[in-house]
């Protein structure tokens, strides 16, 4: 595979017309190794964060051989790439046909549920199989997360108690799962969630065999620097060890963002400048969905060879589609002389970047090319936390 030193070299040498994902397998390896050595349990990669085959292969080769999926297409993708991988099908509401295919054709044995309809579906679709691990998804607070995932899924109160009791009777291996929300900025969120889970489990009077603390592990973004990931692992381990569960209960996690965010950045081209607005060849119907809709603060740098520092000015972006919504307010601080034909690098787009591209309006083309430099920011200490392209112009503060 061709590779370049960094995005600036890639842009200068290839002058790409379409957006280019700069992929950093080394960053994904670092993240995988961190979870495999520091998380006190099993790590499942949440495929929805970034299903790119190069990333899946990198994680698998680094030792992350378990995958958390939410759709039958994700089940098929993982089963085809890695026939011996462990797949957990953790969407709490699934199609009957998807459950049956996952169980009978792809060897999936772990499913989640948060309602009694789903329990009935899983049992019927698997022929009342006796080799299942069924994880009841419980509702927990998402108050420490930048993106809440609390509204849609998770049983609570008397419903949760009844569902745990029914599921316990139906399966040899019962798990409890939750999600504290994405980009969770404090380890306390996991501790509070385990408090909640313990109360419900005690009320139900059941023994659980798996505690799955889900995803939510943070990455680093400008103005959003979480405490060290070691603190998360330590807090989860300490609380888990105090939990009133069977001695052989195992601990799982399902990081998406933390395993993928640092592994890609995106080179985009300025196609036109109108005052303080730049029209780019990528936008909210592409990898910049979160930048526009959630005002997510990605680091953005100007890829140009400069001999002296330039004055910065604030810019907002328009994406390439004909829709007014294709707008990213920013502001991003870039050299005031930025112009059509220039290239920008948007960092930290490995999670929920390539996964969000729609192809709307025909803007679907992109390439993936390997680069060897460090990600613009990192939660893993082995990487240089400073961007190679100059901190002022990269919006990383
Ligand atoms: C989205 C999701 C994850 C991954 O979440 P991150 O915040 O990216 O770590 C894990 N588990 C489930 C069930 C999810 O829906």
How many angstroms is it from 96 CA to the middle of ligand 1? 22
Indicate the angle between helix axes 96-106 and 116-125, nearest 10 degrees. Answer: 40
Check whether 392 has a pLDDT greater than 70: no
More confident residue, 304 or 130: 130
How many angstroms is it from 346 CA to the middle of ligand 1? 23
- Structural contact between residues 75 and 98, judged by C-beta atoms closer than 8 angstroms: yes
Mean pLDDT of 137-157: 92
* pLDDT, tens digit, 9 for 90 and up, residues 246-267: 778 999 999 999 999 999 999 9
Domain boundaries of the chain, sorted by first residue: 3-22+262-395, 26-260
pLDDT band at 150 (very low <50, low <70, confident <90, very high): confident
Following DSSP, what letter does each residue of 353-375 receive, concatenated?
TGGG---GGG----EEEEE-S--
C-alpha span between 14 and 16 (Å, rounded): 5
Among 211-225, 258-272, 305-319, the minimum mean pLDDT is found in 305-319
CA distances for 39 relative to 32, 217, 228, 345, angstroms: 10, 11, 13, 32
What residues line ligand 1, using a CB cutoff of 6 Å?
46, 48-49, 68, 90, 179, 182, 214-217, 254-258, 351
Domain 26-260 grouped into CATH 3.20.20.10: yes
- Structural contact between residues 201 and 168, judged by C-beta atoms closer than 8 angstroms: no
Q: Which pLDDT score, from 0 to 100, does residue 384 have?
A: 47
How many angstroms is it from 33 CA to the middle of ligand 1? 19
C-alpha span between 164 and 159 (Å, rounded): 9
pLDDT band at 1 (very low <50, low <70, confident <90, very high): low
Mean pLDDT score of the chain, rounded to an integer?
94
Check whether 105 has a pLDDT greater than 90: yes
CA distances for 48 relative to 12, 90, 236, 353, angstroms: 32, 11, 23, 10
pLDDT band at 309 (very low <50, low <70, confident <90, very high): confident
Token couple for 69: 């999926």
How many angstroms is it from 149 CA to the middle of ligand 1? 9
Mean pLDDT of 281-288: 97
* Ligand 1 atom with minimal separation from the 112 CA: 13
Q: Which residues of 72-95 are buried (b: 16+ CB within 10 A; e: fewer)?
A: bebbebbbeebeebbbbbbbbebe
Query: How far is C-alpha 210 from the chain's CA centre?
Result: 22
Tell me the pTM. 0.95
Check whether 389 has a pLDDT greater than 60: no
Beta bridge partners of 23: 264, 370
Bond prior to 331 in cis (omega within 30° of 0): yes
295: left (phi over 0), alpha (psi -120 to 50) or beta: left
**Which fold, 3-22+262-395?**
Lyase, Ornithine Decarboxylase; Chain A, domain 1 (2.40.37)
Which mutation among 256, 263, 348, 353 tests ligand 1's pocket best, with the greatest number of atoms within 8 A of CB? 256
How many angstroms is it from 270 CA to the middle of ligand 1? 33
């Amino acid at each position: 595979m061709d590779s370049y030193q960094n995005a600036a070299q890639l842009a200068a040498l290839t002058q790409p017309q379409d957006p280019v994902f700069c992929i950093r397998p080394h960053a994904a390896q670092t993240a995988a190794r961190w979870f495999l050595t520091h998380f006190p349990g099993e790590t499942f990669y949440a495929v929805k964060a970034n299903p790119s085959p190069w990333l899946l292969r990198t994680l698998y080769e680094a030792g992350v051989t378990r995958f958390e999926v939410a759709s039958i297409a994700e089940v098929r993708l993982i089963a085809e790439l890695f026939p011996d991988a462990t797949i957990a099908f953790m969407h709490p509401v699934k199609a009957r046909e998807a459950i049956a295919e996952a169980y009978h054709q792809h060897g999936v044995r772990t499913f989640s549920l948060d309602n009694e309809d789903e329990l009935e579906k899983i049992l019927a679709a698997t022929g009342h199989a006796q080799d299942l691990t069924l994880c009841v998804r419980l509702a927990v607070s998402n108050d420490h997360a930048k993106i809440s995932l609390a509204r849609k899924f998770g049983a609570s109160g008397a419903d949760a108690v009844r569902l745990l009791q029914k599921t316990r009777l139906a399966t040899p291996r019962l798990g409890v799962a939750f999600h504290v929300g994405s980009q969770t900025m404090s380890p306390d969120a996991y501790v509070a969630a385990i408090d909640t889970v313990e109360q419900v489990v005690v009320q139900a009077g059941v023994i659980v065999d798996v505690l799955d603390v889900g995803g939510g592990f943070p990455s680093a973004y400008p103005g959003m620097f979480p405490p060290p990931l070691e603190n998360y692992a330590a807090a989860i381990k300490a609380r888990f060890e105090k939990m009133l569960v069977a001695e052989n209960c195992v601990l799982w996690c399902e990081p998406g963002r933390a395993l993928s965010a640092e592994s890609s950045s995106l080179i985009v081209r300025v196609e036109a400048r109108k005052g303080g607005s730049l029209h780019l060849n990528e936008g909210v119907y592409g990898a910049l969905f979160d930048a526009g809709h959630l005002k997510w603060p990605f680091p953005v740098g100007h890829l140009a060879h400069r001999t002296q520092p330039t004055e910065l000015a604030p810019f907002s972006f328009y994406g390439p589609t004909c829709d007014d919504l294709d707008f990213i307010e920013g502001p991003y601080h870039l050299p005031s002389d930025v112009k059509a034909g220039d290239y920008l690098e948007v960092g930290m787009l490995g999670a929920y970047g390539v996964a969000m591209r729609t192809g709307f309006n025909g803007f679907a083309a992109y390439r993936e090319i390997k680069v060897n430099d460090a990600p613009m920011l990192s939660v893993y200490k082995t990487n240089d936390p400073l961007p190679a392209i100059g901190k002022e112009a990269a919006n990383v503060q």
